[in-house]
Structures are given as structure tokens and as C-alpha cells.
Chains A and B, each alone.
Chain A
Amino acid sequence: MKNVYNFSWEDLGNLAEGRPNLGGETSVAIYRLMQFTFKDVLSKELGREKTCELFVKAGLLAGREFCRNVLNPDLPFDEFIADLKAKLIDLKVGVLRVEQADMESLNFVLTVSEDLDCSGLPIFGETVCDYDEGFIAGILKEYTGKDFTAKEVDCWAIGDRTCRFEVKPVEA
């Protein structure tokens, strides 16, 4: 067994062939079950902070791959966002909405409602969408070629009805 795994989009497999009856979809509960159990186990091995950091990293990789394989990074920004919104709805990830987009400073405020990770959770008092933070930053990195940080400033899990992310380019 190799020591390191490198993700590739093909590893997601041929779902049509592999799941002829059950298809490509699963339940959100099962998705969350996996995420939260990972969080449980990893935090006990590595600590809470390190776990969050790893979730952001994984989300970033997912975002880049998603942009490369599902989106069209050649579209102008307005159309790219329209396409991203449509795809996230199609794939039942969440309802992405833009509140601010400053194309000069590349500062964005985005919200995700009906989020796959957190909507409907009990109030924990801390944001939980670490994976989403990475995912958004990853998509924008792939689209613009620049590094971004996405910070979840509002989250269902802290009493908001929608998750709000402030996205900024990483200062060089």
C-alpha cells in the first residue's frame, strides 16, 4: 500500500454502471453521518483545530476539482456565477447567493442556504462549515488563479438561517 493517496476525478467511479438501481444520489443524513463521524474520530486523534484545518484543505481540493470537472472556468464572471449557482442546485449542494462581489479587490460576500453541511443543525455556538469554506476558496482559486480564504461568518449552527461566507484573496 502506498503511503500517500492522490485524488483524481476518475476515482469517483462509474455510477451508472456501479449503481444501476440506486443511482447517483444518497441522503443528506448519510453524508452528514460520514462528515461528523470523521470529525469525531479525527478530532480525538489530532485535536479540534487540526481537524478543522484538514477539513478546509480537503474542501479546497474538492472545490478545485469541482471547478475543473463540473464548471466552465472560461466563462465571464457573471455567467460563471450563474452557472455555479445552477450546478449547486442541480447537485443539491445548497442555494448559493451573492450579496457582494467586488471584482477589483476580489472581495465577496456569499450565502449558502439549505446547505448540505449545516442547515437544520441544532445550535452549537460555533460555525461548522469548514469543508464549505475550503470548497468556495477552491472554486475561486481555480477560476481566478489566486489564493483565497473563505470565512464562514454566519452559520445555521450558530443561530443564523443561512451560512454567510466572507471571501478574500490571500495577501501576498
Chain B
Amino acid sequence: MNSTQALNAIGSCLALAMERGLGKNGLVFPVECKEAEDDTFQNSCQNLQQIFAQMNESYRFAEALANGELKTEVSRSNIFAMPLKALQASLRHLTWQTNQVADGDLSQQVDFLGEFSLSFNRMIKSLRDKKSLEQRLKTITDVLGEGVYLVDTEGRLIFANPEAERLLGYSFQEMTGEMVLHVIHKQYADGTFFPPEGTQLGTAIRTGQAYNSDDCVFACKSGRLMPVSLACRPVITGGKLEGTVIAFHDITEQKKYQESLQTINALLEKQASTDTLTGIYNRLKFSKLLAMEISRARRYQSSMAIIMFDIDKFKEINDAYGHQAGDSVLIDMARVVNANVRTTDIFARWGGEEFMVIAPSCTLDQGVQFAEMLRFRVAQTTFSVPRKVTASFGVSVFRSNDTELSLTNRADNALYRAKGNGRNRVEAEDAEAFYHQAGASRPPTS
């Protein structure tokens, strides 16, 4: 083969490659070197053949790199592959760097790799910024004095701060990925379990609603139910619900304080409404209860009797045996009567040695019978003074246009007559006088 023939063969081989690409077999050198006409030409053919082989090899090497295969080797003498080897080294290095970042190493920089460096170093910077922001947030939640949980949309725990660990006794490790509410929030304060449909907090987490409560309890690892004040807020990123933050603190002390306040208030209320000597209602409380009973009787058109009574010759007892003896007579009187009134009746000290009984649902006759029973019991009782103690009773009955005053006045008048008629007796209100005076309708007297 002469040089012209060889050049033509090489030319058409290259033309085909430029038209169709290298294909599966690459460039095939079209000249048999041994058949070249002289040694110089044979030498040139061999060099060209080697160049063809190097181009084929570097093409395959480049293809491997393009596919991300970084372990492919290429022969040292291949001059076309040299920059590709540098590229391969750069890519291997970037792979390592990326793995480092994935493992949390943010101390690396990529140097002198053009746009790779720019992008990588920008990523590192932004991750460092994010990390320092996270660190700041972590420091904040660490010192917050408020337990903080972060849960995903299904309620699985993603984050717990040290205060949350301290309050409930569960470490973050043992709770990670747990459905946190299933562990800590399954009971009411009294220990009964929630119904299967769950709770408002559970619903808030599922639906991404804000929720606040001062009435929840969380179960500690120790089993204790801790009353907590909690605030829950959805975490929404790009319009999508990502999870919920639950912040809570222990309100055991506040609850105790509230309870003691309630106890004190109840005590104060009792004191304000109780006669200190006898322990029964005082006049102030009596007035309030009478007003309520009047409006009730008026609304339901029910009857109601009022019994006013007074210890006979109490001044003589005081004068003869002293005030202490008088006080013990008052105490005994309250005890005897209290033991004989119905639970629905209201018994109070009206003042001095005067007492009042409200007997709901009683007609005048029933009220009189009731008063008579009380008079009898009192007369039967042995008091702590060496003499017989009796009481006089006046009875009135509610009428639709009565006021507290008119009702008690009529009982007072009846009592006055009982005193006048010899004491230790019961007198009913003077019905005729009342009707005459007020022109009201006659009360039921059955």
C-alpha cells in the first residue's frame, strides 16, 4: 500500500467517524502497518495507530466519567486522557467532600476547582449558617425553662429539649420516633383514660391547629400525672404542615395554690354566712336564702312557711347564771332545733335569742304543726342551766305579693302574740287581719 492509498483510507475512516460518531468499536485504524511501503511510512503508521488507540481509550474513559464511574483506570501514556484524569481526581475528591458533609463535617473547602468550588463552598457556608442558627435555637430551648417537643404530622417525636427530658423523665433517645402522645398523654387528670376518638391536643397535631390548655396532665416516666400548661403550634413550611411544637411546663404548684385559694374562699364564705356562736346560718345568710326561697315559691307557686321563735325569759337566764350559761343555752337550742328540722329546711339565728326556720312546701297548718313539734322537743330538752327552758313560736306563710319584710313581720307579730298568750306556745299569723288589711286572696290552709 502506498502513502496516497493509506491517506485515503484514513481520510474515509475519519469522515465516517465525523458523520456517525465513534460507535461501539471506536476508530479502527484502516492500514496494516506491515504492508507500508517503507520504514519511515511504517513508523508514521504505527504512531497514527497508537493515536487512534489512545483516542478510543480516552473516549471510553470520558464515557465512564460521564456515567459517574470514578474507578476506571486508563493507561499512563495516553496523552488525551490526561485532563480527564485530572477531572477524575477532582470528582473523586468532591465525592469524598460530599460524604464528609453528609457525616457532619463542615470544616472542608474545595480549592481551585472553578465552579465546583464556588457551589460547594457556597453550600458549606449555608450549612454552617444553618448549623449556627440551629445551635442558637438549641441554646434558647436549653435555657428556656419550658419543656419543648417537636413532633411530625403523625405525632412522632423529632426533638425534645433538656427541660422536657427533665420534667417527664424520658430521655430524647428513648422517645425518638415514638408516638409521644400515646406515651405521655392518654389520661384525664383523674386518671381515667381518654375515649378512642382521642383528645383536642391529638386533633390539633393531626390538623395543624394551634391549641392551648391549662387543664391537661402528662404522664411522667415515674407514672406520676403532672398537671401542665401547654401551648401547641403547627410548624408550616412552604404552606405545608411539617409538624407541631408542643411547649409545656409543670403547673403542680399553681394547681395547689388554686386549690388552697378555693379552700380559703370556701372557708371565708362559710365564716361570712355562719353564726360564730351556734354554727348555724347568721341573719345575713338567712336574708339571702329567704330571698331565693321567696322567688322560688313565687315561680313555682308553691307554699312556704316561716317559723320565728324566741327563748322565753332569756334575760333572766343571763342575769341568773351569767352570759356564758346564756351562750350555752343558745348553743343547745340551736343543736336541738337543728336535729329536728328537715334537710330542706333553712335554720338560722336571727339575732339575740331569736331564731328563724324556713320550711319550704309547708302550708300554714303544716308550719304550725312543725313549730309545735319543735316547741315540744325544746320543752323536753334538759339544758345546761338548772331550770326549764322553753321557747315561743310565731308562724307565717308565703303569699304571692310578700316581701321578706312582710313575711317575717307577720311571723314576728304571731310570735309577739305567743309571748302575750303565756309563752311556750305556737301562734299562727292573724290571717283575717292580713286579708282585711291587704285585700289579698286567702292562702291554702289544708
Neighbouring B residues of A101 by C-beta, 8 Å: 96
Give, as a whole number of angstroms, the nearest-CB distance from B366 to chain A: 96
CB under 8 Å from chain B, chain A span 96-149: 97-101, 109, 111, 113-114
The B63-112 residues at the A interface (CB cut-off 8 A) are 76-79, 82-83, 85-86, 89-90, 92-93, 95-97, 100, 105, 107-109, 111-112
- Return the contact of B112 from the options A100, A113, A160 (Cβ within 8 A): A113
Query: Taking the complex as formed, is A82 at the interface, i.e. its CB lies under 8 A from any CB of chain B?
Result: yes
Q: A78-B105, A99-B93, A111-B93 are in contact. Are A85 and B111 (CB under 8 A)?
A: yes
Q: Which of A148-162 contact B (CB under 8 A)?
A: 154, 158-162
Given A82-B107, A109-B92, A111-B93, 6 additional A-B pairs, CB 8 A: A95-B112, A97-B89, A97-B93, A99-B89, A160-B85, A162-B86
Tell me whether chain A's interface is mostly helix, strand or loop, or mixed: mixed
How far, in angstroms, from A95 to B109 measured CA to CA in the complex? 11
Q: Which residue of the partner chain, among B76, B77, B107, B112, contacts A79 with CB atoms under 8 Å?
A: B107
Identity of the chain A residue whose Cβ is nearest the Cβ of B93 in the assembled complex: A97
Contact (Cβ within 8 A) A89 B111: yes
The distance in angstroms between the C-alpha atoms of A98 and B108, with both chains bound, is 10
Is the Cβ of A85 less than 8 Å from the Cβ of B109?
yes
- By beta carbon, the residue of chain A nearest B108 is A82
In the A-B complex, list the 10 residue pairs whose CB atoms are closest, starting with the nearest.
Answer: A161-B86, A97-B93, A78-B105, A82-B107, A99-B92, A159-B76, A162-B89, A79-B107, A111-B89, A78-B107
**Cβ B76 vs Cβ A160 within 8 A:** yes
Asked whether any CB of chain B lies closer than 8 Å to the CB of A46, the reply is: no
**Residue of B107, B108, B109 with most chain A CB atoms under a 10 A cut-off:** B107
CA of A20 to CA of B89 in the docked complex: distance in angstroms? 40
CA distance A80 to B105 in the complex (A): 11
Nearest neighbor of B91 in chain A, beta-carbon distance: A99
Point out the residues of chain B lying under 8 angstroms from A160, CB to CB: 76, 82, 85
Nearest B residue to A86, CB-CB: B109
Residue of B nearest to A100 (CB): B96
CA distance in complex: A101, B86 (Å): 19
With A99-B89, A111-B89, A113-B89 already in contact, the answer to whether A159 and B107 are too (CB < 8 A) is no
Q: Is the CB of B100 within 8 A of A113?
A: no
Is B85 within 8 A of A161, CB to CB?
Answer: yes
Residues of chain B within 8 A of A164, CB atoms compared: 89
In the assembled complex, which residues on chain A have CB atoms less than 8 Å from the CB atom of B97?
98
* B90 proximity list for chain A (CB < 8 A): 97
> Is there a chain B Cβ closer than 8 Å to A81's Cβ?
yes
Residues of A contacting B109 in the complex (Cβ-Cβ under 8 angstroms)? 82, 85-86
A164 and B90 alpha carbons, distance in the complex (Å): 12
